[in-house]
A = this chain, B = another copy of it.
């Protein structure tokens, strides 16, 4: 059964994607995976309701439907874009045995879902590239990285510092700073936590790091690794510290080890980070 064709469902918990992008991803998948993997884009991906890919109810229903459907091996979030934190809380009580067997792959705003699923031990939460990364330079390579993980759990697409015997999690800095106070915040004690961000002012990164590192739930982690912080807008006043100095500063204040750089970020080099112990 190990080599049976994998079926992967795609939904958008935040913003929508276009049908053109979906077609492009299907094409790359056929080229790269042949008959080993088949994608199933839920129609919800193409809905539009204000900022979101359909109403909260539509996005909640689509996620619950694909998570609970035994026909799918994995749920691949097609896009981040704000909105995952608005899914109905009731969804997370309704996840069935099939939902517990699945892999859930995404990053950025979908970190709200990865955190919650990881916290309630539902399936395997995985940080990694999403279809919406395809238009980037080298985007096809990023897409193939997630496809390789979804098809065969290839370890060569996994962030290179990950070792057996340790536990990991990866988050967008802004997203993590917004979920540390939630009652379902996962226990990250003993984890190496990898962080990245995009398009935030350095003072915003600093403020988010205050929030993250002043939260009791982060003070027992094994350490912090910093991915890329890209497309930082220019402020009218230079912040005066680099992104790495900011992370080092807040780690030092919290007495948490800073463990150097991680190979993740909002770019086509973004590597795969399965949450939990490296297997």
Contacts and interface: CB of A to CB of B under 8 A. Distances in A.
A50 interface: yes
Contacts of A82: 203, 206-207
Contacts of A15: 237
A216 interface: yes
Contact of A181 (B49, B206, B215): B215
Nearest to A216: B183
Contact of A50 (B51, B182, B217, B240): B240
Contacts of A179: 211
Interface string A48-73: 01111000000000000000000000
B210 A85 contact: yes
A153 interface: no
Interface string A240-257: 110000000000010000
Interface in A173-221: 177-183, 202-203, 206-208, 210-211, 214-217
Nearest to A51: B239
A226 B15 CA distance: 27
A31 interface: no
A3 interface: no
A181 B211 contact: yes
A207 to B, nearest CB: 5
A86 interface: yes
A192 B177 CA distance: 25
Nearest to A184: B214
A59 to B, nearest CB: 13
A215 B179 CA distance: 9
Contact of A240 (B52, B208, B210, B211): B52
A216 to B, nearest CB: 6
Given A207-B82, A210-B86, A51 B235 contact: yes
Given A50-B239, A51-B235, A178-B207, 15 more contacts: A50-B238, A50-B240, A51-B202, A51-B240, A82-B203, A82-B206, A82-B207, A89-B253, A177-B178, A177-B211, A178-B210, A179-B211, A180-B181, A181-B211, A181-B216
22 contacts: A15-B237, A50-B238, A50-B239, A50-B240, A50-B241, A51-B202, A51-B237, A51-B238, A51-B239, A51-B240, A82-B203, A86-B206, A86-B210, A177-B211, A178-B208, A178-B210, A178-B211, A180-B181, A181-B215, A181-B217, A182-B211, A182-B215
